[in-house]
Structure 1
Amino acid sequence: MFTVGKRLVFTVVIILFMLTLLPPVSPAAQPGEFPDIKGHWAEADILFLAGKGVIGGYPDGNFNPTQNISRRELAKIALSLFPAGAKLSESGSGVPDYPDIHSGWGQEYLSTAANYLPGYTDGHFKPDAPATRYEVAWLALAASLVERGHFKQENNRLFIELPMPDENAWRQAVKFKEYTGLPERYRKSTAYLPEDPGKEDFFNNAGYFLTDLNPVALLAGAGILKGYTDGTVGLDREVTRAETVAIVTRVFNTDFSDADKYLLEPAGKVYRPRTVQLTSANAADRLNQAGVFYQNKYDDPLQRARMIYNLMIHVLNYDWDTREGLEQYAVADIAGLMQTGKSTDEGLVRYYATLAKAAGLSAQTIKGQGVNPGDSGPHTWVELNIGGVTVSVDPTYGVCTGNVYFNNFSSWDSQGYQWIKE
């Protein structure tokens, strides 16, 4: 009897410990029973989503509207409200994988959210890091567009039909303090747009020139993203549970079906990288951790190389600002790339090759000329030696346009693409 009693106590302790690991929901906190939201500015939105079973309260019955929300919690909220986005999943050809999304609650939401939200530049997803205002708006927007049928799946890749922001949307966007200088930047740019040789019609051409800001302009024009009292939109600010609920509800209530034009964008396109500030030694160590993860998880070296490629196109962006108008430019080291989240071809190749080597692959940087239907010039890419077979990888084209430049260079010849070694 004494032994049974000890086992019973031990079991109860274990159960109580496991309960502390559950996400913040409470069976006792029914919709309309959150005492700390009475009179709160987001009360109606909170009750709306609570009524749909998308959000809940904490064990004490409160909602805690001023508490920051994590990326894990955001994934659960957005993909519960728009379940079609959660059901759609690409095959292994394009989905990224991260060392830190395989533990804790909500893994089914995290694995899908990783298709839409960027990972951090150190090769991790950081699910329990605070979500930013932009991430809340973007994940809700992407999931809602998929929910309403604005997507395509081609060759196991998921694309989102993103409505092109109209003139009014861009006029709203440039009201935010961060973007008041965009029209002048457009006029001074060396980029050439045949539709606007005089560089005077910013508001009708901005969507082609500032593609990374298209989601921001779209959300601003729809009144989903609103400015703070200081005039900023604060895209990188951490957001509270109340702010999250308000933004997600606005997306839910907005129909973009009447858009005149749509842009077909890869679901994982990185509009706004999640960067980290690390020393060179720490940056190398962090990539080494990610490399060991891939080596241990993916026995097939070709699949391992592919997963590293998928990671890159979900965490990094191309540095168009640095490239434009410059024949020579400094190439940041790995730590510098992690701090900015963007680089030109040499920096992107260095990142891929470093991570590939950390994952036990033989990777060599190749310099030469890149030729495509719209451009040509000095270019850098990677060659892997896998079982005596050369596998060519172009991280730069991948980051710019999607995950379609992996081990298939010869198939691009007929479309006017060439990689010519020095």
Structure 2
Amino acid sequence: MKRTLIIGTLILSLGFGQSVSAAATNGKVDFKDVGGHWAKSNIEYMVEQGAVDGYPDGTFRPEGTITRAEFSKVLADLMDADGGSNAFADTKGHWAESKVNGLVNEGIIVKSEYPNGFAPDTKITRLEISKMVARGLAQESLLWKAVLLGFQQLPAINVPFNDQDEMKLSDVPYIALANSSDIINGYDDGTFKIDRSATRAEATVMLKRYLDAKSKKPVLSELLEKFKGEQDVQKFSKSQLEAWVDKDADIKRLANLPINHYTGTSLAKNHDALIYPMGHDSSTNDTELVTQAMNDMIGWMNVYENLDYRTVGDSWKNKMLRYYSQSSTYHGVHYSNEDLPKLIDVYVKEVKDGKYIQESFFVTDLSLAFKQKRTEYSNNEFVIRGTQYVRFTSVTDLPEGVELNKWYKRDVDVKYMQNLWGDKVSWDTADNIAAGYTVITPYKLVTVK
């Protein structure tokens, strides 16, 4: 049987698992520091039920904070979640180890959200509580489980807090459930404050409301309608946008764009000329080599177009050098093979001077690799066509028509040189080295279709 009020003096008291005398006589609660407090009735109720207790000096200390371990202990007891394999190295031997492990096993605490350890004695935030109680409700109630799944499937959610812009999109469904269940509300100024530490009073009230919410019967259709919002891709993180974009539509559009070839042949024919350099003879199929070239150019674009002037340095420089091995001229200055690190130093300086902070990803496909000759007498160019998505959050000189903190897309032809024999340089290089890119279409704001 699942316990409903087992908080006792386990958490919100001076000693964990110890009996601490509360300021209560004959069931009457009389804490010195609770009179007039906004959570007074909830604190008194939970104390009278034996759910929480105060300190030996007759105080409850409602504005004191509560840690991850403390909140986990309470919720684990309420859910009867205990034990299991050790989930975090930094909880091994901790007094709340079995409770944390129990919540991990139940899916209430998600390990990937704590990549550097659980840090059990860290103050818990309102966002963390929202996630835990939302998952807990979904675990213990099929109706609330349906609500959480419904929220997660909405294209966009609108929560009634004016600091929603500070919330990750993936976190909003949990906040919406915590709010719709009346477990966690906002502040008088209309904010939710995801990073604020919860107080002992807040935690007590939230846990009381969690118990109440388990018996509620939410109406899914009503909640979905109430919280349904308009999708705003400009608020997407890079990974969210990358998952959202219609890559097939990009690839189809790119395949139909003209190429600059002196004979005027299509991209598809020039793709075949690259894959089958000696004709459609299986013995000359270069698919593997071209695939490697495509991957190398995706790698180069990911380094070259993801910038942060505050941290750019040796690590970025070494990643860049992987795609450079042939002498080059830049802004009228010639750099020999071994002088290429100096060229990358120039790039580093430009990033810092321009105060660039930008994030980007590149959409392409093997079918968009081709070779072209601009004139009958020019050399072959090897090209990977793709769509670049980019957002600038800092730069001293924005491209024309582009605003900060908005996602844009443009089509580009990325040129590469085969480096199969390797130029003699002192660093490791990719099989294919970068030769710059040509912009096909200008920046266009990313919008919902």
Bigger relative CO (Cα 8 Å, ≥ 6 apart): 1
Structure (1 or 2) with the larger CA radius of gyration: 2
Answer whether TM exceeds 0.5 for this pair.
no
**Could you state the TM-score of these two structures normalised by the residue count of structure 2?**
0.41
Structure with the larger helix share: 1
**Could you state the TM-score of these two structures normalised by the residue count of structure 1?**
0.43
